[in-house]
Structure 1
Amino acid sequence: MAPLLFLLQLWATVEAATTDNTKTIPCEASSFIDPVVPGARIISITTEERRNFDIPGVPKLLEPMYDLNFCDVQVYLTHPGTNDKVLVKTWLPLTPDLWNDRFQATGGGGWATGLLDLALGPALASGYAASSTDGGHPVDYFNADWTLNDDKTVNWDLLQNFGTRSLADLIYVGKSLTEQYYGQQPRYSYWNGCSQGGRQGYAVAQRYPDLIDGVLAVAPALRFPAVTMSFLWPNLVMKETGTVVSNCEFNWFASKALEECDILDGAKDGVIGDPEACTFDPRRLVGQKLECSGVEIEVTETMAEVVYRVHEGPSTPFGAKVFPSLTYGTSFSTFVNATTNPDGIRTLNDPGLDVFARTILLKKSDKFDISKLTSTEFWSLWVQTNEDYGWIMDADNSDMSAFRDAGGKLLSWHGTNDDVIPHMTTVKHRQRVERELGGAKAVDEFFRLFLAPGVKHCAFGNGAVPKDPLETLRGWVEKGEAPDTLTAETKNENNEIVTRDLCRYPRTSRYLGVGDVNRASSWTCEGSDEKEEPSMEKKTFRDEL
């Protein structure tokens, strides 16, 4: 029997060596069996072979992709007792040589559980088998009407899909289809998302720690309900003080903050390197003059106080801070829609950011007017938001020991000039995880945070943006190469390439004093690995939660 066994093994080796990895794998629905998804039932599986498929680009964000060849598998599933119908779309490279042996689960944005083609395209182009889901509702970043039933009651089933359940579903489905198509399990599986997708990445790590090897979570909306309510804070401050500060005036204060704090990292490069080191106070500018719409304006005490309170972030009438705000030097144009006419009259317009309050809390109330929102109403809505919806949408559980013990790695980065989600929300979470799990050094073994000075929400801004953080995460997961820096790049106003090595938190970047300021080699990371904890007296209300 031994010679026969040897011949069979030899034949198998030769057969494997001569397999044509460039041969198209049939893309047929009959080739797939229903994936096993806990708590769900598969409704249907359809497939379509796509060749030379093009995806249009998104200006400044996503380059167009051409000639993609893949098996498009669309699985519809439902959760018994919910009457939902959820799409999980999976794209599989048509030939083994186009597949990198890995699976990528992709996140959503805004009120969309998944981005579908916009997220699947880049993943596929990089060699991944990838999945995305619609969560059972329309894909619309700015509309949450799907959260309500026809009778205006909350659709808790779809909210659960959005908050947690569909995240696991798409991983179960995607990994199963990948294994069936290629005849082998993916060697490694990753999550990739920004904003809502970043929140989802943390949620996967916290709630489904065994499903994924590595999570790339960018600019995460960790406390999504609180983030949406914080959008209303600037309008409330202006109403309470009776003083409207226009976008032009906010931008002037931002420029003054940049003038004062840009040099703190050793170089004038149009970026505040460490916002926490910036002690800019708008109240020191009272009496100075600026120009908006051709009108000369003098900074008043109430105007400066508005800017100060807005940057301090939501604070209770008793002075307890409950949520961070945007850093000095960051534009408030996302939150504030106030103009100044040639006569110097300021008008506060609706910024259109009351989706959560109007749709979910007030059930699409036609009577809700953000310009008339009182402090009492705001804090009532704030409490209702967090009490009723935080449990299903928040992803800020500081006990991430299950993810650590499963061997997972979380790489997160956040722009310090994020004009949608304050970067300090991610910093505060990281600090709470350190307190929970043994300090910075222990947490760095599985969770590393990088701040990107000058970068806005997910991209853009004056700062250097990480070039390929997913590749860095792969090196950490697959080779044990824990990153101390992230390679980043942008172009300045003169269209010159600017490179930086973003520092692992809590270290910050500092110019060495010699060399080209546009080159990463002229900068170094300084500071200790342990961030000094604030005293008990200085800790905020949220820190104590």
Structure 2
Amino acid sequence: MSTLLRISLAAVASCALVAARSSVFPDCSGIAHASFSAAFPATFLNVTYYDTGTLNVSGIVNEVSFCEFLVSIRYGKNVSMGAGRSNSLQFALWLPELKYPSRLMALGNGGEAGVINYDDMMDDLNSGLNFAVAAGNAGHLFSDNDAGVGTSLGAPGVYQPYFHDEDQVKAWLHDAISIFTPAAKSLMESYYGYRPRHSYFRSCSTGGAQAFSLAEFHPDLFDGIIAGCPANWFTHLSLAFLWGQQQTKTDATTLPAPVLDFIQASVIKECDLIDGVADNLIENPLACPFNISSLACTAAHHAENITCLTPSQLSAAKALYQGPVRSDSLSTSIFPGYALGSEGGWSLPQVQGAMSNAITIPILQNLVYRNLSYDPSTFNWASDVDFLDSRVGPLIDAVTTNFTSFRKSGKKMIVYAGWADPMISPMWSMQHVEAITKATMGSQTTIAENDFIKLVMVPGGGHCGAQVAKYPYVPAQYGFSSAIVDWVENKTEPVEGIKSWGPTNGENRTRRLCTWPLVAKFKAGGDVDDWESYTCG
């Protein structure tokens, strides 16, 4: 599911009270005005009751009736000075009419945020897991991202207000969820008469960075956390976008879509059957022996007009597989590169420069150098990396590897990454979870032995779901919410696999996702498209 989602607050708030209330549940507005804790510097923007089937979010309607509380909560250094002089974060809380909704699911943001993630709220409301759900806008407005142009990302040379407010920057990736969650729990107590017995957080990309921030800075706030395709090393991820732009910026080094499709098809042809299943999918790209140099042009290729890679294109492709490195130590990685089998997605913006233009350059111009005329082509891949780390790393990164507090308090975390993600290298998730495992449980401990974080690598998975254009047949909806609930509440680790379903082409196909380093193994005689036909081994 997309991480750059929004829906008009006005549209959400406009639905009238459409059905008679059950006497079992209190009145929405009565709870809002009578019982909300004075401890929170908050203002109610709207309180609305939705009967079953009356709210439509991106084509999905609510399967249970609920009360929505739309709240603005002040935060930051000037929080005590009143709404006119402090920053504010808007959040929505949906409290369903269920007999025993003892769980809260909080949801994060995508991209540069600024909006409430209603799509994911609807998913978890309808999950059948009895969640009350909450999500916020990360402490700034959508219209601030690109000076009111109307995108969820930035642009070179454009002043972005929230990058010039340290409290708003910290809220974006570090603090937003911890700002609204206590208030959401308090409202839940006012409505049901008790606080949630278990609290969970789920999000992807920027939301994955928010997830790691919670585990690092607020380890007691949630019992279970789901972090997808995490952007928690945001400084270096942004450099990976700049690297991709610079490596493919000339006519000679650009990699057009037909060339990328050719590379990906060549990789899959060589490595599809490694897992014993002919399904146009690579279960484990690390086991794939493909060598990109085998596609280099020769005299025979030219004579027969066969597709191949020129020396410049070959160099560019190798640079994207490698990822950015320091110019003063070419063996020192700044951020890992992309995996085999992801090539078709490289035609997405980061290779052609749009992700660098939308994220990296605005950060460098607004947040790092405070100069809208800063020329990113002058970026020094040694000294400027260090300056970036020192200047903004403490504000937007969450890369600690010592999770002792999180583990000792019994918290659980599922991290997932798509092997075909063309935005954030899946190798980053693997490297980071491995580092956390060793720092927290001992240097000889493997990822497989980690008892508080489980890593799931999704074959053919794109960024936070499907890589739609190239893997439409790959299931792109994941049962991580039920898996984290089962792990936290029933102590059942998800080692036997997690179900995935819903490929974007509409076919009825399911697959088993395994916790790394386990991979799905096909059982002879089974149905290739049924997750029950696989085991994790």
Instruction: Identify whether the pair has TM-score above 0.5, normalized to the shorter chain.
Output: yes
| Cα distance in 2 between the residues matched to 1:419 and 1:312 | 13
Moved more, 62-71 or 447-456: 62-71
Helix, strand or coil: the match of 2:343?
A: coil
Match runs of 1:356-375 below 5 Å: 356-363=359-366, 367=373, 373=377
Paired residue for 1:216, among 226, 229, 237?
Answer: 226
- Unaligned runs of at least 5 residues, structure 2: 1-20, 80-84, 146-150
**In structure 1, what is the Cα distance between the partners aligned to 2:203 and 2:136?**
13
Confirm whether residue 306 of structure 1 aligns to residue 308 of structure 2.
Answer: no
| Residue in structure 1 matching 2:73, options 68, 73, 76 | 76
Aligned counterpart, 1:321 = 333
Secondary structure of 1:192's aligned partner: strand
**Alignment partners' CA distance in 2, 1:278 and 1:243:** 25
2:440 equivalent in structure 1: 437
| Letter in structure 1 aligned against 2:43 | S
Residue 255 of structure 2: aligned partner: 245
Partner residue, 1:90: 92
1:284 is aligned to 2:294: yes
How far, CA to CA, are the matches of 1:24 and 1:212 in structure 2?
26
Answer whether contact 1:107 1:132 (CA < 8 A) is retained: yes
Compared with structure 1, are the counterparts of its residues 312 and 21 closer, same or farther at alpha carbon in structure 2 (3 Å cutoff)?
same
Partner of 1:175 in structure 2? Answer: 185
Residue by residue over 1:64-85, the C-alpha shift from the partner in whole angstroms, topping out at 9 and shown as x without a partner, is 4477431424133233437433
Measured after TM superposition, the shift of residue 414 of structure 1 is 1.5
Are the equivalent residues in 2 in contact too, given 1:68–1:125 (CA < 8 A)?
no
- Partner letter of residue 448 of structure 1? K
Question: Is 1:353 matched with 2:356?
Answer: yes
After TM superposition, give the deviation of residue 283 of structure 1 in Å.
1.0
How far the C-alpha of 1:520 sits from its partner, in A, is 2.7
- Are 1:488 and 2:500 matched, yes or no? yes
Question: Which structure 1 segments of 5+ residues have no match?
Answer: 1-19, 339-347, 527-545
CA distance in 2, matches of 1:514, 1:288: 43
Indicate conservation of the 8 Å contact 1:136/1:158, yes or no.
yes
- The Cα of 1:326 is off from its aligned counterpart by 1.5
For residues 374 and 77 of structure 2, the distance between their equivalents in structure 1, rounded to whole angstroms, comes to: 36
Q: 1:509 and 2:510 equivalent?
A: no
CA RMSD of aligned residues (A): 3.4
Deviates more, 1:158-167 or 1:243-252: 243-252
* CA radius of gyration, larger in: 1
Q: Within the alignment, does 1:454 sit opposite 2:460 as a pair?
A: yes
Bigger mean CA deviation after superposition, 43-52 or 329-338: 329-338
Distance verdict in 2 for CA 1:260–1:387, change over 3 Å:
farther
> How far apart, CA to CA, are the structure 1 residues paired with 2:355 and 2:414?
32
Q: How does 1:79-118 map to 2 (within 5 A)?
A: 79-81=76-78, 83-93=85-95, 95-97=97-99, 100-112=101-113, 115-118=116-119
Q: Report if aligned partners of 1:35, 1:177 keep a CA contact under 8 Å in 2.
A: no
CA offset at residue 313 of structure 1? 0.9
Partner Cα separation in structure 2 for residue 362 and residue 74 of structure 1: 32
- What is residue 475 of structure 2 aligned with on the other side? 464
Establish whether residue 23 from structure 1 lines up as the match of residue 24 from structure 2.
yes
Contact between 2:173 and 2:206, CA under 8 Å: does it hold in 1? no
Question: 2:109 aligns to what SS in structure 1?
Answer: coil
Change over 3 Å in CA distance of 1:261–1:169 after alignment to 2 = same
| Aligned length in residues | 483
| Cα distance change, pair 106–239 in 1 and its aligned pair in 2 (3 A) | closer
Does the 8 Å CA contact 1:22/1:95 hold for their aligned counterparts? no
Question: What amino acid maps onto 2:356 in structure 1?
Answer: L
Deviation at 1:336, TM superposition (A): 5.6
SS at match of 1:91: strand
**Is the Cα–Cα contact under 8 Å of residues 224 and 393 in structure 1 kept in the other structure?**
yes
Q: 2:534 aligns with which of 490, 502, 523?
A: 523
AA in 1 matched with 2:91: K
8 Å contact kept, 1:84–1:158: no
**Equivalent of 2:204, from 194, 197, 204?**
194
Does the CA contact (< 8 Å) of 1:398 and 1:429 recur in 2?
yes
2:44 matched to 1:45? yes
> TM-score, normalized by length of structure 1?
0.79
TM-superposed deviation, 1:257: 0.9
Q: Which residue of 2 aligns with 1:385?
A: 388
